[in-house]
Copies of this chain bind each other. A is one copy, B any other.
């Protein structure tokens, strides 16, 4: 990928923002000498949503995330739902829609309220049920008062699948589908932090997508060639990564990108483009053109996919670029790289 920049002496907030700075950190410090997997699997260097390992005649998909969202309860969800959905979705983005199990390591700040912890674990339980999975093992640590802000949940998911889907399989002519409105999670969190009156109408979209993706795969089969959930960095980062890794450019039909009116309004108020902020219940799916409409219909038939749309197309020119076609002209879509929204997930 394109990260000539050198990681600075001090790791600042932008290195956790899901953009170019974070990729540079991973490439320059984490990857070297680690993460090679054989047999055509997916290892650390691929920087995909998870890893894929050969197990017998199937693939074991594994993915991990730490969750540090602030506030821990927000309109539409909480850190427990976010942890489960985020992990289930990362598995689903690799084509593994039936999670075998999750793990959850909990770190608490000394003095964390028992009632709050119970509520979060009730939410974890419900989201697991919704996704058809469970938590099979965990870990508990407590840090001193002032050593951790509240709670951190680190979840890992494993799943077996006969076929996996990466995020680098696009070629010119392929279509891009987004499963619903963009920017909901990021702007809901942002509005909460700014204590905006408008905040009341915004809700995070956090949800497990595995059932939705199962439908898309059932209809699209091998025509589903790339998937990514547009979390940190939003739709823009997801498209940039997919374009960069696939060696194509993506032309986005801007008017086709679904954005809720209130999300657009709050975004304008705060000066934030909804395409640059996190989603926690959406997927971007790369499709061969011949099955694109059929997959769109299948996704729209699912409650979490009602607002799905085909938003763009791959072209051979300018590999790695994401071009926004506004209807009046074309411009390059930028990628958030800074600390736009720290602790968004």
Complex CA gap A147/B140 in Å reads: 19
Closest to A43 in B: B136
Select A16's contact among B33, B34, B141, B156, beta carbons within 8 Å.
B141
Cα distance A109–B32 in the bound complex, in angstroms: 23
Provide the residues of chain B in CB contact with A10, threshold 8 Å: 111-114
> Residues 129-168 of chain A: 1 if any B CB is under 8 Å from the residue's CB, otherwise 0?
0000011111111111011110010101010100000000
Given A43-B136, A100-B60, A108-B15, A114-B9 contact (CB < 8 Å) = yes
CB-defined contacts of A105 to chain B, threshold 8 Å: 64-66, 154
A residues 45-81 in Cβ contact with B at 8 Å:
48, 50-51, 53, 55-56, 60, 62-66, 68
State the oligomeric state as a number of copies. Answer: 2
**Which residues of B lie under 8 Å from residue A35 when comparing CB positions?**
134-137
A222 at the interface (CB under 8 A from B): no
Once bound together, how far apart are the Cα atoms of A334 and B16, in whole Å? 44
For chain A, what secondary structure do more than half of its interface residues adopt (helix, strand, loop), or is it mixed? Answer: mixed
Distance between Cα atoms of A115 and B342 in the complex (Å):
23
Q: How far is the CA of A64 from the CA of B114 in the complex (A)?
A: 23
| Contact among B103, B118, B143 for A68, CB-based, below 8 A | B143
CB-nearest residue of chain B relative to A23?
B140
A3→B154 CA distance, assembly (Å):
26
Which residues of B are found within 8 Å of A124, using beta-carbon distances?
Answer: 34
Contacts of A147 in B (CB 8 A): 148-149, 343
Q: Are B152 and A103 in contact (CB under 8 A)?
A: no
Residue in B55, B62, B118 whose beta carbon sits within 8 Å of that of A137 in the complex = B62
Chain B residues positioned under 8 Å from A117 (CB to CB): 11, 29
CB of A101 within 8 Å of the partner chain:
yes
Question: For A146, what are the chain B residues with a Cβ–Cβ distance below 8 Å?
Answer: 146, 149
Which residues of chain A in 218-252 are interfacial with respect to chain B, using CB atoms and an 8 Å cutoff?
none
Give the distance in Å from the alpha carbon of A25 to the alpha carbon of B120 in the complex. Answer: 14
Q: From residue A199, how far is it (CB to closest CB) to chain B in Å?
A: 21
Please list the residues of chain A having a beta carbon within 8 angstroms of any beta carbon in chain B. 7-17, 22, 25-26, 29-30, 32-37, 43-44, 48, 50-51, 53, 55-56, 60, 62-66, 68, 100-101, 103-108, 110-115, 117-118, 121, 124-125, 128, 134-144, 146-149, 152, 154, 156, 158, 160, 342-343
Closest 3 CB pairs of A and B: A16-B142, A154-B154, A51-B136
Apart from A7-B114, A68-B141, A148-B148, what are 14 other A-B pairs with CB-CB below 8 Å?
A26-B140, A34-B134, A37-B134, A44-B136, A50-B137, A60-B158, A62-B103, A63-B137, A64-B103, A64-B105, A64-B138, A65-B139, A144-B343, A147-B148
Pick 19 A–B contacts, CB within 8 A, sort by A. A11-B108, A11-B113, A17-B142, A22-B140, A29-B114, A29-B117, A30-B135, A30-B138, A32-B125, A36-B134, A37-B101, A55-B60, A60-B158, A64-B154, A66-B141, A144-B342, A147-B149, A147-B343, A152-B152
